Amino acid sequence: MAGVSQEPTARYPTFAMPVLNEAKIRSARPQERAYKLFDERGLFMLVTPTGGRLWRFRYRLGGVEKLLTLGAYPDVTLKRAREKRDDARKLVADGVDPSAKRQAERASQADTFEAIAREWLELQSKSLAPETMEILGTRLKSFLYPYVGSRPIASITAQELLAALRRIEARGTNETAHRVRSLAGRVFRYAVATGRAQHDVAADLKDALAPVKSRNFASVTEPARVGELLRAIDGYSGQPITAFALKLAPLVFVRPGELRGAEWSEFDLETAEWRIPAARMKMGEQHLVPLSRQAVAILREVQVLTGRGRYVFPSLLSAERPMSNNTINAALRRLGYGSDEQTGHGFRSMASTLLNEQGFPPDVIELQLAHQERNKVRAAYNRATRLAERRQMMQVWADYLDGLRAGGNVVAIRRSA
């Protein structure tokens, strides 16, 4: 009788009582072939030749035997593996396939706003500048992921997105709210294009946000005060790289991001040209900046310091990154110019105002500012035919600034016929 009563345990160890414990699991050693350590009710551990200890749950549904992975030890302990097995057994009892349910959940997670946004962002990295990618990524993480990131993108409503944008407006940053709405729209349109959403709900919110008040970047435009600013820049006692960036800014009057992200590969100092690639331009088109003699002289000085690296104006923390987007403004504050007086972007307003006042053709000025021309054919024609005028203008402008810096009575820019 004793032998009979012991037979079920000997033949069916997984149904009598738990046979695994932590000590037995820890002592399991890899062998030439994978082997199993059985627990109970379909739970077992697979020990692989490489030393992996993987939990598996064997079950039958509709007469078909299936396996469900439950994780790896020690991340999933014996106790937790049994809990996961019990959860799966409850699903089987209700006629639900645990494996199919998991696949459906994973598919749903792959279609969340955050998952699709990250996929879209990865595609953009092939054409956008690193600093632009950083800005887009920060906006997504700060303003959208916490509120709609985990939601399936196809089920997000305009009201849900609006609630997230209202949080931005509540901080008094209406312009940021508009930028984030536009960014969300790009993600939604990508989801529509890839068959994971039916509609761009961000488009429905175009008129739902408070309007942005137009503003000009603070800028010194009176000739005498421009001379004072240039002399102050010459006396800047901070980091040399920052000082050179400050000196170059009024001569080229590009956008701050275009200046701080400048790479040596973009410059030809022999022909006095700076070609900013389309990926770094706001309008997505390559931009040519003719360099005055003064600008070339500054760049040759900088080249001694940073010419072996990628960036003309690298970060103080890492040569692999450009200087911070706040460096120029912080330097101006250090010189005593408040944010309501002069900004890095304000050098563009300075040039635009004074060049227009001195009678340079508006088309030539706008081309050099890289402002968008609505008529594409006309824009292409202008870029091709007005380069000589732009070269002349940039040199005359640099000479004019020299006169203001010297404190002379410079009242007009003299243009040759």
- Catalytic positions: 255, 282, 345, 348, 371, 381
Environment class of residue 273 by beta-carbon count within 10 Å: exposed (0-12), middle (13-18) or buried (19+)?
middle
Q: In 140-290, where does DSSP find H-type helix?
A: 145-148, 158-169, 174-193, 223-234, 240-252, 256-260
3-class DSSP state for residue 285? coil
Distance CA(337)–CA(330), nearest Å, equals: 9
- 198 Cβ contact list (under 8 Å, min separation 6): 154, 192
Angstrom distances, CA of residue 237 to CA of 206, 243, 246, 332, 335: 47, 8, 12, 12, 9
3-state secondary structure (DSSP) of residue 397: helix
Strand pairing partners for 72?
54
223-234 helix and 387-406 helix, angle to the nearest 10 degrees: 80
Dihedral angle at the C-alpha atoms of 82, 87, 91, 94, nearest 10 degrees?
100
Amino acid at 32: E
